[in-house]
Structures are given as structure tokens and as C-alpha cells.
Amino acid sequence: MIGYEYGNTRLRVRAGRLLDADVYRGLLSSATLDGMLGRLAGGPYGRAIESALGRYRGLHRLDEAVRIHLSRQLADVLAFYSGEIRDRLRFYESRWDVRNIRTILRTLNQPVRGEALGPLLVAAGSLDEAALSELANQNDVRAAMDLLAVWQLPSPTVIRRLRHAMPGFLQTGDMSILEAALDGSFGDSIVDFVSGARSADSLVSLLHEEVDRLNLMGALRRHRAAREVTHADPFVAMAGGRVSAQVWAELAEVDDRVDVVAQLDGLLPGAWRGPLAAWVEHGELWVLEGELDDAATEAGIARFRLGDPLGIDVPLGFIIRKEAEARNLRLVGRAIVYDLAREDTFDRLIGVR
């Protein structure tokens, strides 16, 4: 059995090729996207860029190269371990199944579709490249759902939730119904996973926090809706988090943002206090969501350096940092194409400083 000693050593070596602040500044100094891709091709992204050049143009070349590289890296992480360790890491990477299905369903639901969807999908879960491609090429949401039901992928839990939500979506056309079903299936799978875990560790903590973050945003959207309309649908919290469903339900009855944050005091990670305090002032949920995602990513990346060197912190931290690197490169590419302020873009990069 391949354990943490071997796998973590391999990842520490590979971490030496992660992009650092100097590399990002060099990329941001590129005058054109081709110049950026040329700089990037001289490092670990070389093979992926070569694969993308003949298939896409413009920013889609960058997105495809990033997608290919990230998919390969996440697959390599699993290959460095075996047995229960690999199974637990595979479960963590299965987050991409929900993300991929959400992206595909959103795109299929649009009356006019843009360019190829492929560069936005990362084959890191139960759905491989071929399956994602076939799903993305379906005519509509219903056809994609039927195909998932035939495959019974990514899991029976996801299929059951989506099929239950489908009539409501067909009646209203409201994509949020399907998205809530996807989030609910994620929560269900976490409950099953945690109940079977031998002990609570960093992976369990990360999963709990991800559910709490989704529930927080859902409860705050419900709180806002309750102030704007006479009758709003009740918020139903996902299972699998640390904060109880009763706490989330009670937020709808709180009058203002100051009291909302006060009611959550001590229940959420300390890194969330700053974004929540800022939200009290500006009130923009989309800003809060982005800041919470950034805070969670920064905390996850720190596990690679500060966590147990012979435990699951190392592969989890590496996975999160590679995912952040993909986000960073897309930001850099767009700053170059749209001539955005380079220093402001650098300040938005995650896990660099």
C-alpha cells in the first residue's frame, strides 16, 4: 500500500514547480496573450499549451491549457496514493462532478450558447473527459439529465435529487431548483462519507466548512428575499455542515445585517469574520461570496505548509493550490486581453504572497 510517506514526498517535490509571485509578475508583463502563453509554455504547462493551440483561439486556448494541466495534476495526486487514502482524496476531488454538471446544465439552459464549453470542465470526478463532452453536446437540460440517469453517474444520490427536482424546473424554467438539488446531493454524500470516517481530520473539517459556506450564502439570500417580498420560500439547509439547520432557519427572522452576523458569532471559522464584517457595511452578497471563497482557499493552501507532514493535509493543500493556480492564470490572461490594471490583478491572485 502506498501511504503518506511516498505520496507526500512526491507532492513536495512537485510543489517546487508551482507558480510563484515572480512568475506571475513575469506573465503579467506580457504585452499579448500569445506572449503570456509563450512564457508559460517554458514551464510545467508546456504540454497542455501545445495540446490547446490547434483546437481553440484567444482566451479559450489559455482556458483549455489550464483545464488539461489541472485535470492531469489532480489525477496524478490520486496515483501517488492507494487504498483508503486514495479513496478519501477521490471523494474530495468529486466536488468537480457537481461543478461540472452545474456548468453544463446552466449552459444548456441558455437560449443562445457561446463558444465551446470544454475549457470550463475539469475531469476530476466520476465523469471523465468523454462523458463530460457527451453531456455538454446534448440538445437541452432534459436530454443531459436522461443521460446521467442512464449512466447512474456521478452517483445514485445525485440522480435521485435531480430527478425529484426536474418537474419543478420544467414547470418554471428556474435553474436554481436544479442547482439546489445538486447542492443537496453534495450535502447528502458528505453525511454518508463523514458517518463512515474513522475519525475527524482535515478532510472532514474542509467538507463541513464547504457545506457551511453554501448554507450561509443560501440563508443570506433567503434573508434578503424575506425583506423584499411578502412571501418567500423557506430556506432548506444542506446536511453535512457543523451549523445546525435551526440556526440557518432562524436567520430569516433577524431584522438587520448586524444582528445576522452577531447570531453567527462563534459558529463559523475565524477567517470569515472579516468578509462578514465588510458585508454588514456594503450588503453585497456576491462580494461576500467571493471573499469567503478566497478565505477558504487561502486557509486550504496553508495546510500544505502548516499541516501534518505525514497526513492528508499535504495532498489537500496541493489540490487546493493547483485549483487556485488555474483561477489565477485565467485572471492573468483576462487582464492582458482586456488591458486591466496589472497591479490590481496581481493583488487579486490567491495563494501567491
| Domain contains 159 | no
Is there a domain that residue 61 lies in? no
Q: What is the dihedral of CA 239, 242, 248, 251, to 10 degrees?
A: -170
pLDDT value, residue 72 = 95
- With beta carbons less than 8 A apart as the criterion, state whether 253 and 262 touch: no
pLDDT tens profile 277-326: 999 999 999 999 999 999 999 999 999 999 999 999 999 999 999 999 99
Q: Hey, what's the cell of 283?
A: 450588503
Question: pLDDT confidence of 115, banded at 50, 70, 90?
Answer: low
Q: Cβ neighbours of residue 152 under 8 Å, at least 6 residues apart?
A: 159
Tell me which of 233 and 237 has the higher pLDDT.
237
Q: Cis bond leading into 154, ω under 30°?
A: yes
Residue 179 lies in a domain: no
For the chain, the distance separating the N- and C-terminal CA atoms, rounded to the nearest angstrom, is 36
Q: How confident is the model at residue 57 (pLDDT cuts 50, 70, 90)?
A: confident
Give me the half-sphere count of Cα atoms (radius 13 Å) on the Cβ side of residue 257.
15
Is residue 4 one of the residues assigned to a domain? no
Look-up of cell digits 493535509: 313
Domain tally, the chain: 1
Indicate the range of 5-19, 67-81, 171-185, 197-211 predicted with least confidence.
Answer: 197-211
C-alpha cell read off for 331: 485572471
pLDDT at 250: 87
Residue type, 203: L
Q: How confident is the model at residue 1 (pLDDT cuts 50, 70, 90)?
A: low
Q: Residue length, the chain?
A: 353
* Mean pLDDT of all residues belonging to the chain: 90
Of all residues in the chain, the percent with pLDDT exceeding 90 is 74
Name the least confident of 13-17, 85-89, 189-193: 189-193
The string of pLDDT tens digits covering residues 146-182 is 999 999 999 999 999 999 999 999 999 999 899 989 9
In a domain, 108, yes or no: no
Query: pLDDT tens digits, residue range 81-112?
Result: 999 999 999 999 999 999 999 999 999 998 76
Instruction: Please indicate, yes or no, if residue 302 is contained in any of the structural domains.
Output: yes
192-196, 261-265, 320-324: range with lowest mean pLDDT: 192-196
Instruction: Give me the percent of the chain exceeding a pLDDT of 70.
Output: 94
What would the pLDDT profile of 117-155 be if each residue is shown by its tens digit? 666 899 998 999 999 999 999 999 999 999 999 999 999
Q: What CATH number is attached to the domain comprising 290?
A: 1.20.1690
SS3 call for 178: helix
State how far the alpha carbon of 163 is from the alpha carbons of 86, 151, 258, in Å: 30, 14, 39
DSSP of 65-81, one letter per residue?
Answer: HHHHHHHHHHHHHHHT-
Indicate if the alpha-carbon torsion angle 242, 188, 234, 179 is positive or negative.
positive
Asked if the structure places residue 25 within a domain, the reply is no
118: DSSP letter: G
pLDDT over threshold 90, residue 254: no
Q: Say yes or no to pLDDT of 251 above 90.
A: no
Q: Which long-range contacts (CB under 8 A, 24 or more apart) does 5-11 make?
A: 5/310, 6/80, 6/81, 7/77, 7/80, 7/81, 7/85, 7/314, 7/315, 8/309, 8/310, 8/314, 8/315, 10/80, 11/77, 11/80, 11/314, 11/315, 11/318
The three cell numbers of residue 210 are 464547504
Cell numbers for 38: 509563450
- Its domain, for residue 246, covers 202-308
Number of helical H runs and strand E runs in the chain: 18, 0
Q: pLDDT band for position 113 (50/70/90)?
A: low
pLDDT of amino acid 276: 96
Biggest alpha carbon–alpha carbon distance for the chain? 59
Residues 258 and 277: their CA atoms lie apart, in Å, by 8
Task: Answer whether 0.95 is exceeded by the pTM.
Answer: no
